[in-house]
Structure 1
């Protein structure tokens, strides 16, 4: 074969053989909605993204540390306290730079982020979405253009994915983006073999598959490419040094066909590299730039290809790597495509009025159509028209806030509010999320640990699938409303509430929350109360529970994939609760969940003795006939 050297200028002129461009780019809640937007028709379905993937129970932070306290240490404190995600905004001022700094910091400690973006605020507060035209109105297409721009600021770019049992690479940058085998920097002489199927997605429709050997990092490696970009079939050879390639092109003498599968082998021995395609030697190259490094794969621009059945054997025949991608991408350092892994969604709106719902529904639908894994999050007022929220926004989660820990007693409307949220969400299986009060403010007391447990466990009894804390950092006094003594003070001091929150989250909510996630609420009842508040049904004996005596309890009853469940919650946040539960004929055995071991322990059919501290709960699984 004859090598045809290509200059740097000529390489740029190739346009895409190595990846195209080298740089990849409060009153009035029940008012009627405008007639043109009253019944939006959703066209896209969202997954809810990482916050709804079921791997962790969502535990969120509202009012996170302010910008100058947005550090890895501060975010690690949140993660250590059991939180899984945070809302930006408030101290973040819906600022892009502050939001990206928050995302970057969250990436380092494993937190997820719902972003409050300034352009989202403009879309939701300054314009309407309608095809009818008029002042301060955007069409759906115009709104989509802006939303794509917003999401692109934050969304992680993932070029590597496993699909149909193979690695699919769907792009990259021109000066790097090599995914490299892990723990392979010291490899010297070896044979790399793999199967690949290039796809016709390069600019102009060419097909290309790229691989790397003696790769030191994403920008320093030998990169060979099988393609049909500047001829029917070529091997393009690039030696990348600090992202700049030295390129030669070898005509193959056969066509490279998109969709065809090729078996490729490159033997790396000293300064000589011999490449074969389908058993036929197509090139031998001598070069001394790199003496060691791992193997990998690489595409750029819009190029894409499948890879499978990877083997690396050293000069003595010892297997260094075998990969069929059945176990995911754990053997690879995947190239960073930009964006933030911590990005979970858009904080679309907090506490809208009913007339605002139609526009929010349209925006949420557009977000889902752009990326179903981006959660368009909306939170609602206490006492809101939650059915309207469901009908007009088709939310992935139905979230609300109500803070019941008053300076004297608790808000008796809390149960009814929860019942209304449950009634709106349950028919379509929408997960419900709630805020819990974790700060003192006007007419509201600083919660105790028991108060946190009570809010959380009452919420779980109604089938809650996500808990959010208001607030984490104490709002500055200039904010008004006399906020004081939150989880962290204004000056950054951790209060006793931090330790209480950490204990509640890490020893109870994380574990029990995961058990509740797959369950479906069937009833929320009160037992042993002289006067049952609105939003709770009076308990009556049935074939599962024949009798429940003792102190006042709230019963959350559930169906689940592994049977019936019962959450018993102390109705009081200040007094212990004791009682005895006797099983009906339908129950063959009851098992109590132990959060420490994350296991259910059988209690048989014997009467179950309830002994709960203030605000505490216990979860039971029932084996029924």
Structure 2
């Protein structure tokens, strides 16, 4: 993989660090002086003890709770294009929330962006508030005054409270993007900041996004993140479409490990998908956008985010090519592709899958399995899967009233060609089978639940509901 990631032996900077470097420098410079002065005033004062751990219940949080499936963008319009029409354009493409960035790095332009989001009906995760950014990125939150560049818990609370006061009047305010791609050294401070947000703004989402990676060290990286920060969700980014036309097969291993971590911690998992070409990565087709989404859904994703929406300017390096919107504000075909996916498929199937629990993910009819993936074997629900290569994600409801029901997402393993499979079910477990119709948001009963033919286009998927009986 050309992206730097967390492997079995290293942690490195990724392409997102290039995008955020300038914004961090500007926003932290604005906040550094008052924060440093505040920290000095606290020297020698009685140390403030951290409050008790906040409940892991996320049902009241924006984007995580509720039935709507979150579909977000990273890198929104820059300040001079932050207006009502541009935010309505985002909404019209089927997106539900925005992660700020692209030079929206002071409280004034951020407040103005939230006003545009209010009018468009979007939600916003604020990434670059100077005070919050300084607390999480410039300083270490620590009441030990001998720690260099530290800020007390009390001062950190003050700055986060000020930010909450600035933005919470907006109906669009969903929370803070506290840290993008943290390293383990950042976890103690990130954990304190996450806890403070949960205490002071219990309906604000304290969001962070993890580095990609694979291998034993990656399990440790993610596990320690969960343990030390107690996040409301696990989000990561990895971009599998390479410039030579191949796909990064470790994309699947990354998902295997993220899925396991999410299930272990009982946390929803989110992912970023690739929308543009950049160094050693190709520009995706509509089928490749859809494929990334459906692979992620099969692996249990509860939120999809697009990297990027607006195209980063050339001065940022990494050879970024047009995303959904060009640097000068023109729509590309990927805007139209995303609009179609985000209005006709993803929100509908996402609503079905969001409340469910991922039970298994297997690859069927694949000659050479990607690393760490699991091949299909007959089980209590499926006797056989014949035909083309597909990924099967099976889901259960936490509602005991639906204990005899399972949902099966059949995702095409290929983003280049259609495929057909035949599923043979176990009669004792499957007495009725329905196919989800996103056009009507309803299920259509299939004639023969024992033999289910499925044909899916390149990158596409089909959602089935398998129901048993009282004696199943």
The answer, yes or no, to whether TM exceeds 0.5 is yes
- How big is the shift at 1:108? 0.3
Native 8 Å contact 1:54 1:517 kept in 2: no
> Residues 375-425 of structure 1: CA distance to partner in whole angstroms, max 9, x if unpaired?
111001001421111111111110000001111211110000011111111
Instruction: Determine if the alignment matches structure 1 residue 504 to structure 2 residue 346.
Output: no
Hey, what does 1:601 align to over in structure 2? 444
Give the alignment partner of residue 376 of structure 1, picking from 202, 206, 211.
206
Hey, what does 1:130 align to over in structure 2? 142
Give the alignment partner of residue 296 of structure 2, picking from 446, 451, 459.
459
Hey, what does 1:149 align to over in structure 2? 162
Native 8 Å contact 2:77 2:102 kept in 1: no
Hey, what does 2:41 align to over in structure 1? none
Hey, what does 1:565 align to over in structure 2? 407
- How big is the shift at 1:98? 1.1
Give the alignment partner of residue 355 of structure 1, picking from 159, 182, 185.
185
- How big is the shift at 1:428? 2.5
Q: Choose 45-54 or 580-589, whichever is displaced more.
A: 45-54
SS of the equivalent of 1:473 reads: coil
Hey, what does 1:592 align to over in structure 2? 435
Using the alignment, how far apart are the partners of 2:133 and 2:306 within structure 1? 22
Instruction: Determine if the alignment matches structure 1 residue 619 to structure 2 residue 456.
Output: no
> Residues 496-531 of structure 1: CA distance to partner in whole angstroms, max 9, x if unpaired?
111100000100000000001011011110000112
- 1:520–1:44 Cα change, 3 Å: closer
- How big is the shift at 1:46? 6.0
Using the alignment, how far apart are the partners of 1:75 and 1:474 within structure 2? 16
SS of the equivalent of 2:226 reads: helix
Could you tell me which runs of 5 or more consecutive residues in structure 2 were left unpaired when the two chains were aligned: 13-49
- How big is the shift at 1:495? 0.7
Using the alignment, how far apart are the partners of 1:502 and 1:70 within structure 2? 20
- 1:373–1:535 Cα change, 3 Å: farther
Native 8 Å contact 1:437 1:469 kept in 2: yes
SS of the equivalent of 1:49 reads: coil
Hey, what does 1:140 align to over in structure 2? 153
Point out which structure has higher relative CO (alpha carbons under 8 A, 6+ apart).
Answer: 1
Native 8 Å contact 2:56 2:230 kept in 1: no
Native 8 Å contact 1:397 1:431 kept in 2: yes
- How big is the shift at 1:95? 1.3
Q: Choose 69-78 or 501-510, whichever is displaced more.
A: 69-78
Using the alignment, how far apart are the partners of 1:577 and 1:482 within structure 2? 34
Hey, what does 1:177 align to over in structure 2? none
SS of the equivalent of 1:468 reads: strand
TM-score, scaled relative to structure 1: 0.64
Using the alignment, how far apart are the partners of 1:137 and 1:29 within structure 2? 24
- How big is the shift at 1:113? 0.3
Map 1:121-200 → 2, pairs under 5 A: 121-134=133-146, 135-155=148-168
TM-score, scaled relative to structure 2: 0.84
Native 8 Å contact 2:391 2:413 kept in 1: yes
Native 8 Å contact 2:276 2:284 kept in 1: yes
- How big is the shift at 1:91? 3.1
Using the alignment, how far apart are the partners of 1:128 and 1:547 within structure 2? 55
- 1:40–1:350 Cα change, 3 Å: farther
SS of the equivalent of 1:537 reads: coil
Hey, what does 1:402 align to over in structure 2? 238
Hey, what does 1:482 align to over in structure 2? 319
Hey, what does 1:69 align to over in structure 2? 81
Give the alignment partner of residue 371 of structure 2, picking from 520, 527, 534.
534
Using the alignment, how far apart are the partners of 2:52 and 2:238 within structure 1? 30
Hey, what does 2:269 align to over in structure 1? 432
Native 8 Å contact 2:415 2:459 kept in 1: yes
Map 1:38-437 → 2, pairs under 5 A: 42-45=53-56, 47=58, 49-92=61-104, 94-116=105-127, 117-134=129-146, 135-155=148-168, 339-383=169-213, 384=218, 385-407=221-243, 408-437=245-274
Instruction: Determine if the alignment matches structure 1 residue 468 to structure 2 residue 298.
Output: no
Native 8 Å contact 2:426 2:450 kept in 1: no
SS of the equivalent of 2:178 reads: strand
- How big is the shift at 1:131? 2.6
- How big is the shift at 1:127? 1.2
Using the alignment, how far apart are the partners of 1:452 and 1:620 within structure 2? 22
Larger CA Rg, structure 1 vs 2: 1
Using the alignment, how far apart are the partners of 1:548 and 1:76 within structure 2? 44
Native 8 Å contact 1:593 1:618 kept in 2: yes
Using the alignment, how far apart are the partners of 2:450 and 2:381 within structure 1? 13
Native 8 Å contact 2:67 2:354 kept in 1: no
* Count of residue pairs the alignment pairs up: 408
SS of the equivalent of 1:513 reads: helix
Q: Choose 560-569 or 485-494, whichever is displaced more.
A: 560-569
Query: CA RMSD for the aligned pairs?
Result: 1.7
Using the alignment, how far apart are the partners of 2:335 and 2:372 within structure 1? 31
Using the alignment, how far apart are the partners of 1:459 and 1:535 within structure 2? 16
Native 8 Å contact 2:430 2:450 kept in 1: no
SS of the equivalent of 1:150 reads: helix
- How big is the shift at 1:41? 6.6
- How big is the shift at 1:454? 0.5
SS of the equivalent of 1:539 reads: coil
